[in-house]
Amino acid sequence: MNVRVSFRPDLSVPLRCAEGDDTRGPGGDDQIGIATKTRAKPKKPSQFKVLMLNDDYTPMEFVVMVLKRFFHMDLEQATRVMLHVHQRGVGVCGVYPYEIAETKVNQVMDFARQNQHPLQCTLEKA
């Protein structure tokens, strides 16, 4: 049977949608692929840390700019996080639900690439 599986990380059990479970009525405007397994009590979306990694080439000022722009830090906070990453190799920029964390990682990586800096950013389950 043809089954689609959602990999949303906030669902510990995949939501299985059977293609054959088409319950369209005579009007034909009902949804196709009805979820056949749902949670009585939905789990809270799990949280993900956005991590910044150190490198030898990205200017400190650029990292501070990134932290202000995408993580809404003030200059003092951004400088503290940047220096932490510079000294320890990795640091937390923020903790967010999966989709938001993923968007932030992509925004940072795109911005760094556009400016030809090798700055790396990644996700980790909180």
Residues within the interface to ligand TYC (CB under 6 A): 52-56, 58-60, 63, 82, 85-86, 119
Nearer Cβ to ligand TYC (17/82): 82
Assess contact for 66 and 85: CB atoms under 8 A: no
Map tokens 């056949």 to a residue. Answer: 36
Residue whose CB is less far from ligand TYC, 17 or 50: 50
* Minimum distance, C-beta of residue 84 to ligand TYC, in the bound complex (Å): 8
Nearer to ligand TYC by C-beta: 44 or 88? 88
Shortest approach of ligand TYC to residue 109 CB, angstroms? Answer: 12
Of the chain, the end-to-end C-alpha distance in Å amounts to 36
User: Under a CB-based contact definition with an 8 Å cutoff, are residues 52 and 63 in contact?
Assistant: yes
The SS3 call for residue 6 is: coil
Residue 110 bridge partners (DSSP): none
- For 9, the token pair is 């990380």
Q: Return the number of the residue (17 or 67) whose C-beta is nearest ligand TYC.
A: 67
